[in-house]
Amino acid sequence: MPKVPIAIAGIGNAASAFVQFLAYYQAEKRNEKVLGGLSVSDIEVVAAFDVTEAKVGKDLSEAIFAEPNNCPVFVDVPETGVIVQKGPVEDGVGDLLAKVVKISDKPSVDVAQVLKDTNAEILINLLPSGVKKATEVYAQAAIDAECAFVQCSTHRIASSYKWARKFKKAGLPVAGDDLQSKLGGTRIHKGLLELLDTFGARIVSTYQLDVSGGAEGLNTLDPDRRYDKRFIKTETIRRTIPYLTENDVVSGTTDFLEFMGNNRTSYFWIDAKYGINSRLKIDITIKSTDGPNAAETLIDVVRGVKLGLDRGIDGPLISVSVYGFKYAPVFVSEATASKMFSEFVEGHRLR
Ligand SMILES: NC(=O)c1ccc[n+]([C@@H]2O[C@H](COP(=O)([O-])OP(=O)(O)OC[C@H]3O[C@@H](n4cnc5c(N)ncnc54)[C@H](O)[C@@H]3O)[C@@H](O)[C@H]2O)c1
């Protein structure tokens, strides 16, 4: 039995980078950052779900490179023996994604049964932003199969009173919502604002506008899905500086350009006052790659959730959520979030 057997729903770019990270650490067995006694190579994927013809029925090592995925290839991933199964489609594929993928005509499996049969302990939800019904079906399947749940997309699960209670009642941990890239636009934006605030500047207005070329960029052009992502990204920035109002902040995925591949360009603007009405303006651009930025966070989050499971913690894992997600059940500064996560890993914090 692997030490950390996990299942993944949504074999897109983030899953591709994550599986490549696992293969890299499995092969190298070096440079591993051990966390709470768990190595990255202790994590093993035992089940995988998607809904598109290009991915369902394929070995995971092949499905992670199937179109429209465009996460760069970092390592050779040997055959895993894990065949991607067709999950419940529900609202998973929006109108825009439906133009570039074909939904598999295979029947959907019983997700809870697969999780039980494969002895999965954690289900990671990597569905596109704005997917509500399918996310809830996977969350319920995790509960039915006695698995912990990691909510990487935007629908509120860990931060929802209803779902947090369901996981608590089932005696299972849940972490979320909406994964935060390890060193992506949101964390860098928050970090800059916190820095200015710490040293006495008053933020007047700020935005972060993104252009990207992954399937998620296309998905978030869909008005409903765009709204969900923009709401969470804006809210997590706004709450960094409590006096900012909705009129002072915007953060959201703005456009999709296929030729950018899995890359993202984030344009930041910050207008702040300091001294006696002096003005400080920051106008910068950051370029990053989405998949590996997600995988970096996920390898920590999964091990944090496994520690929560082993410690018998039920309901939302606050420390893991504030560290790894944009919309956790509570909002704290980035520095506090990192400290809380370390304390939790070391066993000095309950949840
Ligand atoms: N840096 C990052 O990549 C990053 C950062 C923060 C949050 N996230 C979030 O992680 C999630 C995944 O991102 P991504 O870039 O991998 O997206 P993606 O679009 O590349 O992958 C999503 C996958 O889900 C599959 N899918 C759709 N409906 C499904 C269903 N009902 N059942 C199973 N699979 C289904 C799609 O076919 C696709 O393979 C998104 O919600 C995104 O917002 C990613």
Same domain assignment for residues 33 and 141: yes
Question: Is any atom of ligand 1 closer than 6 Å to the C-beta of 207?
Answer: no
Decide if 351 is inside a domain. Answer: no
Contact 12, 56 (CB under 8 A): no
Q: What is the pLDDT of residues 34-84, one digit of tens each?
A: 999 999 999 999 999 999 999 999 999 999 999 999 999 999 999 999 999
d(CA 268, CA 274): 19
Q: What is the CATH number of the domain that holds 285?
A: 3.30.360.10
Give CA–CA dist 150/90, Å, rounded.
19
β-partners of residue 271 are 205, 281
Token pair belonging to 223: 């008005």
Whether residue 106 sits in one domain with residue 88: yes
- Is residue 231 domain-shared with residue 82, that is, in the same domain? no
Assess if residue 135 is contained within a domain. yes
Indicate which atom in ligand 1 lies nearest the CA of residue 49: 33
CA of 125 to the centre of ligand 1 (A): 8
- Same structural domain, 165 and 263: no
Verify whether ligand 1 is closer than 6 Å to residue 290 (CB atom): yes
The residue whose C-alpha atom lies closest to atom 33 belonging to ligand 1 is 50
- Cα 103 from Cα 86, distance rounded (Å): 9
Q: Is residue 350 part of a domain?
A: no
Per-residue tokens: 86: 């067709």
In a domain, 261, yes or no: yes
Query: Can you tell me which atom of ligand 1 is nearest the CA of 294?
Result: 1
| Total tally of structural domains belonging to the chain | 2
Distance CA 73, CA 76 (A): 8
218 shares a domain with 89: no
Tell me the percentage of the chain whose pLDDT exceeds 90.
Answer: 94
3-class DSSP assignment, residue 22? helix
Distance 153 CA to ligand 1 centre (A): 7
For the chain, the distance separating the N- and C-terminal CA atoms, rounded to the nearest angstrom, is: 26
Q: Token pair for residue 95?
A: 């109108």
User: Which pLDDT score, from 0 to 100, does residue 258 have?
Assistant: 95
222-232: average pLDDT: 93
Do 15 and 141 lie in one domain? The reply is yes
The mean predicted confidence, pLDDT, of the chain is 96
Q: Distance, CA 105 to ligand 1 centroid (Å)?
A: 20
> What CATH code is carried by the domain that includes residue 336?
3.40.50.720
Residue 103 has pLDDT above 80, yes or no: yes
Which of 83, 127, 302 to mutate for ligand 1's pocket (most ligand atoms within 8 Å of CB)?
Answer: 127
Which whole-number Å values give the CA distances from 204 to 1, 193, 245, 282, 287, in the listed order? Answer: 54, 11, 10, 12, 25
Q: Is the CB of 87 under 6 A from ligand 1?
A: yes
Asked whether residue 70 is domain-assigned, the answer is yes
Q: Burial of 169 by CB count in 10 Å (0-12 exposed, 13-18 middle, 19+ buried)?
A: exposed
Of the listed ranges 25-29, 160-164, 169-173, the least confidently predicted one is: 25-29
Taking the centre of ligand 1 as the mean of its atom positions, its distance from the CA of residue 10, in whole angstroms, is: 5
- How is residue 244 written in tokens? 């900012």
Q: For ligand 1, what atom is nearest to the CA of residue 14?
A: 16
Q: Which domain holds residue 162?
A: 4-180+292-345
Q: What is the pLDDT at residue 31?
A: 66
What would the pLDDT profile of 1-46 be if each residue is shown by its tens digit? 789 999 999 999 999 999 999 999 988 776 678 999 999 999 999 9
Statement to judge: residues 44 and 163 lie in one domain: yes
315 to 171, 296, 332: CA distances (angstroms): 7, 24, 19
153 lines ligand 1 (CB under 6 A): yes
CA distance 39 to 62: 25
Q: Is the Cβ atom of 9 under 6 angstroms away from ligand 1?
A: yes
pLDDT at 2: 81
Whether residue 107 is found in the same domain as residue 240: no
How far is residue 337's CA from residue 339's CA, in Å, rounded to a whole number?
Answer: 5
Whose CA is closest to atom 18 on ligand 1?
12
Please state at what angle helix 334-345 crosses helix 185-198, rounded to 10 degrees.
Answer: 110
151 ligand 1 Cβ < 6 A:
no
Do the domain assignments include residue 103? yes
**Beta carbon of 179 within 6 Å of any ligand 1 atom:** yes
How far, in Å, CA of 142 to CA of 156, rounded?
15
Q: Are residues 105 and 222 located together in one domain of the fold?
A: no
**73 and 132 share a domain?**
yes
Taking each continuous run of H as one helix and of E as one strand, the counts in the chain are 11, 11
Q: Which of 320, 326, 330 shows the shortest CA–CA distance to 300?
A: 320
CA of 129 to the centre of ligand 1 (A): 7
Tokens of 276: 């006696």
pLDDT, mean of residues 204-223 = 96
Query: Does the beta carbon of 56 sit less than 6 angstroms from any atom of ligand 1?
Result: no
User: Residue 250's pLDDT band (boundaries 50, 70, 90)?
Assistant: very high
Query: Ligand 1 in contact with 219 (CB < 6 A)?
Result: yes
Rounded CA-CA distance 337/325 in Å is 10
Amino acid type, 113: Q
Q: 229 and 156, same structural domain?
A: no
Whether residues 19 and 107 fall in one domain: yes
Residue owning the nearest CA to atom 13 of ligand 1: 14
Which one-letter amino acid corresponds to residue 167? F
Separation CA 124–CA 177 (nearest Å): 11
The H-or-E segment that residue 307 falls in is helix 290-310
Degrees, nearest 5: CA angle 266-272-276: 165
